[in-house]
Structure 1
Amino acid sequence: MLFNSLDFAIFLPLVFICYWFLFRWNLKAQNTLILLASYVFYGWWDWRFLSLIAFSTLIDYLIGIGLGKEENTYKRKLLLTISICINLGFLGFFKYYNFFLDNFIDAFQLLGVPFKASSLKIILPVGISFYTFQTMSYTIDVYRKKLIPTHDWIAFGAYVSFFPQLVAGPIERATNLLPQFSEKRVFDQNKAVDGLRQILWGLFKKMVIADNCAEYVNIIFNQSESLSGSILALGAVLFAFQIYGDFSGYSDIAIGTSRLFGFQLMQNFAFPYFSRDVAEFWRRWHISLSTWFRDYLYIPLGGSRSGLALSIRNTFIIFLVSGFWHGANWTFIIWGALNAVYFLPSLLLGKNRNNLDVVAQESRWPNLRELISMLFTFGLTSFAWIFFRAESMSHAWGYVQNMMQPSLFSIPDFHILEGVISLMVLIVIFILIEWNGRRRQYAIMDLAASRSRMFRWCMYLLIILAIDIFGNTSEEIEFIYFQF
């Protein structure tokens, strides 16, 4: 079920009404409703994979209880290993089986050894990368004794399958989300209105910015061998806004929907394109995944405590793994490696923690140095996105080669992309609104208190009209991260 669908527009109010009007006084009934609603939400895509998420939930629930009872170090490690192996085993099979098989065959062929094997027609379960990491964080935290294991299987099942963030995050930690299922939730009108406001902004990002960018990005990437360098550069920039609007839009809708039910999810995007260096960008982009790799991979490997050489090694490991997490294609691995290279100068110069505050914190506009830093960081990021978007390494390399021609400095021929000027105007307006709200959790959060009621409702109406006029309301377009 898609957030930008008629199905969800009917589903959400029904669940909301039952949750607050029928089961308001019974916490277990509320949790049961969330669990059932989450399974309906997920099963709407393909009911066959409900058994997979149910099995993962059961395994980690039982292992969590076992870790809570067991004090023997060896047995505790064994239980944790079982959890990790099962979770990564499912993820590896569904997501990476054919990738490893194809590369295994290619390696044998390079050695002159004939090797034949048939790939499998495997359907990738939506959201498997997200809920797998979510359940793994639970067992790891219980193993580390940072969390007391729950014996409430309904609450745990609802935590794993919580429908607002189930298929594309944020990847919630059990230490944050799971206790909220054990606390009595009281309807708060202000939080609910704030949630609706964030949902509205998320829909704008997705349907007005991302989906419109996607139309031109598809044209440019599909015809990259015959277009000018300036058009290809524009394609990279448009994809940067497409993936940001698409993914951060999903996170906004997820966080806003959670607020309607009395839950608080972590912020997943903090205006990353206003970053002044790559290190800051990765503190602001897909925060739930970046911090997951930091806490469960980078720090256990030694982090930055074991000397510069190991810090560099660990940095490359987490970026390469992050790239591979996104998909079974060498393009994602190269994308991760490229970002590691970008990150390296900050690490070597000890400046990776320089920009921890919000850009232009005390002023309305950035100074010249900040502006240049942001544009340079955005340029690096947009270039890396080419590898993320390309279908294959040959496609990515061909795109880059064609872009790095003298025509890169020519005026783009916009006749090829009819209507793109209007889209660019929308993007400029979008950037200005995001810039104005960069100190908040999301861009239009300030509308809650700083403006008159008339101004607020005019803004809401304009956003709704923009979605209706510029959004593709006749077609339900999936979110990009559903494929990951």
Structure 2
Amino acid sequence: MVFSSNIFLFFYLPTVLALYYLTPRRYRNTLLFLVNLVFYGWGEPVFLLLMLFSILSNYAYGLLIQRYRRQVRAKRMVLVASVVVNLGLLGFFKYADFIAGMMQAVFPFLRTVPLPAIPLPIGISFYVFQTMSYTIDVYRGDAPVQRRLIPFGTYVSLFPQLIAGPIVRYRDVAEQMEDRRESVSQFADGIRRFTVGLGKKILIANQMGLLWDLLREEGSGLGAWIGLTAFAFQIYFDFSGYSDMAIGLGKMLGFTFLENFNYPYISRSITEFWRRWHISLSTWFREYVYIPLGGNRRGLPRQLWNILVVWALTGLWHGASWNFLLWGLYFALLLMIEKLFLLRWLDRAPLWLGHLYTLFFLLMGWALFFFTSLPELWAFLGRLFGGGAVSPEGRVAILGYLPLLLVAAVASTPFGSRVYGRIRDTVWGRYGAVGLGMAALVLCVAALASQSYNPFIYFRF
């Protein structure tokens, strides 16, 4: 089920909210757990069993870690078992096809063996990382063990962020799972935030995706650059829009999730960009991989190695494909260069130069991210740095989408939010903000009526 669908907006969400607030507080986690299962099983009921197995096994691991908390070796063995099982689930469903394909490429006699297609369960990369953070935090003593199954199952399967994040660490919501106090103001803020995210997805991201589709095969360099810029806007507004909707839905249910984006396209370095983009994933890798490897504590060569490992894993987390591995290594190289010397130079350089440098290498990274076929990537890069005039069809598309490109550029900076905030703080501005939100919602619903099924980009991760 997709947030930006009529079935969710007009049936599932109103029904869940009505049931939630009609249910006595002590039973609300139970209700949430049940509606979470309905949400996840709507399109893929068979994978409900997989998620339930993940919930039950990690619930048991948490209890065992707590039971053996004073027995270091036994506690460590339980943690290792939990990590192996979680990574085994993720590895089988996400990487088995990729590994089997590599083995067939290396060993010709295996090429006659048929490879069954293994479907990827939606959201597995997200909920596996959440369950791993739970067992690791309980092991470290950073989070309390959850002794009741329903609250833990609710945490793992919570529908607002189940499919595409943000990745919520248990310690950040442990108290909220036990006792959360909803309010009218929080609910209203949740509606506003959800509407903003829906507008990002329907009114900007989907339209930028159409422009990218039109210009992807454009033979001119200018057309290819504009098309790639459209894709950069598409993935930002698509993913940040989902995060906004997830955070808004959480607020409607009394939860407070941490922010996942902070205007990443205003960054002056790649290092800064990754502090602003998909913050929950960067935080996860920093806390559970980078720091345990030694972080910044063991000298520069070890730091560079740690960066390489983390970003190779980050690339593979996004998908079992060579382009994602290369994408991760590409950013690892840029981050290592910045750490060695470039950041010091960027700190002294003019602001515009830092922005230009960052946007250029980000666009190159997004090209690597999009094209799973390396020959297609090389062909696109050839067009990107080639010449030629924009085709008549390309000119029509660019001129038609130019106003929306400008809107996307402004909306990807804090400028629009600041202006909106100042207007909203006035007496008449409050009414105007409500009217603007309602108008955006009407536009989104109207657009949904004419658009085909268009899931979020990060659903496939």
Q: TM-score, normalised by structure 1?
A: 0.89
State yes or no: 1:17 paired with 2:18. Answer: yes
Once the two structures are superposed, the pairs formed by residues 317-396 of structure 1 within 5 Å of their partners are: 317-349=309-341, 351=343, 369-396=350-377
State yes or no: 1:131 paired with 2:127. Answer: yes
**CA 1:391 to 1:372, structure 2 compared with 1: closer, same or farther past 3 Å?**
same
Counterpart in the other structure of 1:361: none
What is the Cα deviation at residue 352 of structure 1? 8.2
What is the Cα deviation at residue 462 of structure 1? 4.4
Q: Deviations over 1:171-191 (max 9, x none)?
A: 0000012321101x3331111
**Cα distance in 2 between the residues matched to 1:59 and 1:446:** 49
| Mapped contact 2:323–2:373 kept (Cα < 8 A) | yes
Letter in 2 for 1:325: W
What is the Cα deviation at residue 271 of structure 1? 0.6
Letter in 2 for 1:330: W
Counterpart in the other structure of 2:82: 83
Q: Deviations over 1:212-263 (max 9, x none)?
A: 1112222333x36xx2222222221111011001111000000001000110
What is the Cα deviation at residue 420 of structure 1? 3.6
Letter in 1 for 2:297: R
Counterpart in the other structure of 2:458: 481
Q: Deviations over 1:30-74 (max 9, x none)?
A: 001110111000001111100000000000001100100102222
Counterpart in the other structure of 2:378: 397
Q: Deviations over 1:66-110 (max 9, x none)?
A: 10010222211111111111111111111110101111121234x
Once the two structures are superposed, the pairs formed by residues 65-144 of structure 1 within 5 Å of their partners are: 65-70=63-68, 71-109=70-108, 116-144=112-140
What is the Cα deviation at residue 418 of structure 1? 3.9
Once the two structures are superposed, the pairs formed by residues 456-467 of structure 1 within 5 Å of their partners are: 456-464=433-441, 466-467=443-444
**Cα distance in 2 between the residues matched to 1:435 and 1:381:** 16
SS in 2 for 1:349: helix
Select the residue among 395, 403, 406 that pairs with 1:425.
Answer: 403
Once the two structures are superposed, the pairs formed by residues 109-258 of structure 1 within 5 Å of their partners are: 109=108, 116-183=112-179, 185-221=180-216, 223=217, 227-258=219-250
Select the residue among 36, 42, 45 that pairs with 1:44.
Answer: 42
**Cα distance in 2 between the residues matched to 1:43 and 1:471:** 23
| Mapped contact 2:211–2:397 kept (Cα < 8 A) | no
Letter in 2 for 1:13: P
Q: Deviations over 1:300-324 (max 9, x none)?
A: 1111111111111111111111011
What is the Cα deviation at residue 344 of structure 1? 2.0
**CA 1:445 to 1:390, structure 2 compared with 1: closer, same or farther past 3 Å?**
farther
What is the Cα deviation at residue 445 of structure 1? 6.1
> Hey, which of these two has a bigger chunk of helix by percent?
2
Once the two structures are superposed, the pairs formed by residues 59-70 of structure 1 within 5 Å of their partners are: 59-70=57-68
SS in 2 for 1:32: helix
Aligned-pair identity (%): 36
**CA 1:128 to 1:405, structure 2 compared with 1: closer, same or farther past 3 Å?**
same
| Mapped contact 2:230–2:405 kept (Cα < 8 A) | no
Counterpart in the other structure of 2:294: 302
SS in 2 for 1:91: helix
**CA 1:152 to 1:444, structure 2 compared with 1: closer, same or farther past 3 Å?**
farther
Counterpart in the other structure of 2:278: 286
State yes or no: 1:449 paired with 2:425. Answer: yes
**CA 1:39 to 1:108, structure 2 compared with 1: closer, same or farther past 3 Å?**
same
In the TM superposition, structure 1's runs of 4+ consecutive aligned residues that sit over 6 Å from their partners are 352-355
**Cα distance in 2 between the residues matched to 1:433 and 1:49:** 37
| More off after superposition, 287-296 vs 371-380 | 371-380
What is the Cα deviation at residue 426 of structure 1? 1.6
Structure 2: state its 5+ residue gaps: none
What is the Cα deviation at residue 428 of structure 1? 1.5
**Cα distance in 2 between the residues matched to 1:245 and 1:403:** 23
**CA 1:328 to 1:421, structure 2 compared with 1: closer, same or farther past 3 Å?**
same
Counterpart in the other structure of 1:58: 56
**CA 1:433 to 1:215, structure 2 compared with 1: closer, same or farther past 3 Å?**
closer
Select the residue among 301, 308, 317 that pairs with 1:316.
Answer: 308
**CA 1:133 to 1:201, structure 2 compared with 1: closer, same or farther past 3 Å?**
same
**Cα distance in 2 between the residues matched to 1:339 and 1:191:** 38
**CA 1:115 to 1:463, structure 2 compared with 1: closer, same or farther past 3 Å?**
closer
Letter in 1 for 2:126: F
| Mapped contact 1:280–1:352 kept (Cα < 8 A) | no
**Cα distance in 1 between the residues matched to 2:345 and 2:80:** 34
Structure 1: state its 5+ residue gaps: 356-367
**Cα distance in 2 between the residues matched to 1:273 and 1:93:** 35
Counterpart in the other structure of 1:6: 6
What is the Cα deviation at residue 121 of structure 1? 1.3
**Cα distance in 2 between the residues matched to 1:425 and 1:16:** 37
Letter in 2 for 1:57: I
What is the Cα deviation at residue 416 of structure 1? 3.0
**Cα distance in 2 between the residues matched to 1:439 and 1:453:** 14
SS in 2 for 1:93: helix
**Cα distance in 2 between the residues matched to 1:80 and 1:154:** 22
SS in 1 for 2:334: helix
SS in 1 for 2:44: helix
**CA 1:210 to 1:386, structure 2 compared with 1: closer, same or farther past 3 Å?**
same
Letter in 2 for 1:2: V
What is the Cα deviation at residue 144 of structure 1? 0.9
SS in 2 for 1:118: coil
| Mapped contact 1:2–1:476 kept (Cα < 8 A) | no
| More off after superposition, 336-345 vs 271-280 | 336-345
